[in-house]
Amino acid sequence: MREKAFVHPYIPNSAPEVKAEMMKAVGITDLEELYSEIPEHLRFRGELDLPEPMMAECELRRHLEETLAKNTTCKDYLNFLGGGCWQHYVPAVVDEIVNRAEFVTAYCGGTYADLGKFQARFEFYSMLAEMLDVDAVSEPIYDWGAAAGMSIRMASRLTGRNEVLIPYGISPERMAQIRTLCQPEIMPNSIKITLVDMDHQTGGLDMEDLKAKLSDKIAAVYFEVPAFFGTVEGNAAAISALAKSVGAQSVVGVDPVSLGVIAPPASYGADIICGDLQSIGMHMLCGGGQSGFIAFRDETAYLAECPLAIYTIAETAVEGQYAYAEVLPERTSYEARDKAKDWVGTASGLWTIGAAVYMALMGPQGMEEIGETILYNSNYAKQSMSEIQGVRVLFDTTFKEFVVNFDQTGKTVAEINKALENLKIFGGLDLTADFPALGGSALYCVTETHSKQDIDKLVAALKEVLK
């Protein structure tokens, strides 16, 4: 059979001369011989039905750009969507660093060959620890939901109990992930999930309901600051204290961009802290910028139950020189397989470097200032929207996100959002289906990227739409 010369720029040894030389060295005359171990009945002899290759980079780039041009972005339209993926400013230096070929194309290389990666990662743990006010931070996992689920499972193992209390007002996406990780009751290591009612004034936990549901069977009370509805839980310290009073863990989810103005979770009694790094230096990437973290006190019991890798700084023979090594490695699935604490694997490592650069750039002043700007902008939007006829803003104290109810406008959120879209605005996330108790409500997100003019434009558009 005559072989066509197919030489691809990504495959040096597809060039006929070198290919022939190597085949000769290997002692074959046909590449088919390389597959002699695969029996005929397992061979795929058909033709893959794939489009003709676009081997010219120029041509392929044009195809990709034309396809993606069919999207309308949050730079094309004014965006008020949040709910776990948020539009924040990404400093140019962050982009510069996370696009360095050395970082983009490194993997799990050696301690010495990848020293810079290990140092950047250690700096990430160290700076996030300052934000959270704890001493131990793990390697990243996929996103907040995965981090929350794994944190709850840690709490279950730490306490030997298998029930968790979770607030009613949790993100449905996150709840679905936690439910998967807590698994059906029939499984031997399942964790029973009980929802705690919401205080309808504050949007926080209903403390009476929490007290009623707490018992010595509860492994953890999970809550968030700020919560999915943007509310800032005023009873955080009391919730942690109540959890501890029955021997349960206080597991807290946080949005790190809030930590310049909001108290660090350790200060109100959090035992295990989780959250997402996307807000501190990652583009939205249609949900591809998520990165979960888990943090806790530097106590052996916590480190020993954490499924994710944890590294320590170490000294070398040269004074003042550092190296890095994995702590208690035998507990992770790389070493212990099915006897491990859950599992560990490739997740979102590059984003820890993005977050490190972000925190280093922002410093204490930058984090405080961004927190203040978000408080101002979001509260301004809240006030301005509440002045629109029929529009009601729910809950007292919020950071970045807030719930807006449209029941008295005679229009559904879907109708309003469609009308806003025609005015080049992405309105708030529609909560109607997931939270029937809130009626026709939407979750609006306002960050430091919004100007007063943007908010005024939204308010004017809403007035127009609701006329």
Partner 1 sequence: MKDVKLRKYHSASWDEPLIMEMGTKGERGIIPPKAAKEVVEKLGQAIDLLPAEMRRQKSIGLPEVSQYHVLQHYLRLSQMTLGMDLGSDIGEGTCTMKYSPKMHDQVVNSSKFADLHPSQPQETLQGILEIVYGLEQYLKQISGMSKFTFQPGGGSHATYTNACLIRRYHEARGELAQRDEVITTIFSHPCDGATPATAGFKVITLMPDENGYPDLEALKAIVSERTAGIMFTNPEDTGIFNPKVAEYVKVVHDAGGLCFYDQANANGIMGMARAFDAGFDACHFNLHKTFSSPHGCEGPASGAYGVREELAKYLPVPTVEFDGSKYYLDYDRPESVGKVRSFLGNLECVIRAYAWIRSMGAEGIKTAAQISVLNNNYMDQLLLDIKGVTRPYAEGKRRLEQARYSLGQVMEDTGVGTAEIRNRFSDFGIQGYWMSHHPWIVPEPFTPEPCETYSKEDLDYWAAALAQCVKEAYEDPEFVMNAPHAMANTKILDDSLVEDPDRWACTYRAYKKKILDK
Residues in 267-296 at the binding interface with partner 1, rule: CB under 8 A: 267-268, 283-291
Please pick, from the candidates 356, 388, 404, 438, the single residue that binds partner 1 as defined by CB under 8 A: 356
Q: Which of residues 137-196 bind partner 1 (CB under 8 A)?
A: 137, 139-140, 142-146, 153, 171, 173-174, 176-177, 179-181, 183-184, 186-190
Q: How far apart are CA 83 and CA 425, in angstroms?
A: 17
**For the purposes of burial, counting CB atoms within 10 Å of the CB of 369, is it exposed (0-12), middle (13-18) or buried (19 or more)?**
middle
Q: How far apart are CA 145 and CA 177, in angstroms?
A: 6
Regarding 434 and contact with partner 1 (CB under 8 A), the answer is no
Regarding 322 and contact with partner 1 (CB under 8 A), the answer is yes
CB of 327: closest distance to partner 1 in angstroms?
Answer: 5
Regarding 305 and contact with partner 1 (CB under 8 A), the answer is no
User: Within 10 A of 189 (CB to CB), how many other CB atoms are there?
Assistant: 10
Window 202-221: contact mask with partner 1 (x via CB under 8 A)? --------------------
Regarding 246 and contact with partner 1 (CB under 8 A), the answer is no
Please pick, from the candidates 212, 314, 437, 460, the single residue that binds partner 1 as defined by CB under 8 A: 314
Regarding 23 and contact with partner 1 (CB under 8 A), the answer is yes
Give 123 or 209: the residue with its C-beta nearer to partner 1.
123
What is the pairing mode between strands 136-137 and 292-296?
A: antiparallel
Number of residues that bind partner 1 (CB under 8 A): 217
CB of 389: closest distance to partner 1 in angstroms?
Answer: 20
Give 336 or 460: the residue with its C-beta nearer to partner 1.
336
Please pick, from the candidates 1, 338, 436, 467, the single residue that binds partner 1 as defined by CB under 8 A: 338
Regarding 1 and contact with partner 1 (CB under 8 A), the answer is no
CB 367 within 8 A of CB 438: no
Regarding 68 and contact with partner 1 (CB under 8 A), the answer is yes
Question: Whats the size of the chain, residue-wise?
Answer: 467
Q: Who contacts 427 (Cβ-Cβ below 8 Å, separation ≥6)?
A: 80, 81, 413, 416, 417, 420, 421, 442, 444
User: Within 10 A of 460 (CB to CB), how many other CB atoms are there?
Assistant: 13
CB of 27: closest distance to partner 1 in angstroms?
Answer: 9
Tell whether the torsion through CA atoms of 362, 102, 117 and 153 is positive or negative: positive
Regarding 415 and contact with partner 1 (CB under 8 A), the answer is no
Q: How far apart are CA 401 and CA 81, in angstroms?
A: 9
Q: How far apart are CA 145 and CA 291, in angstroms?
A: 10
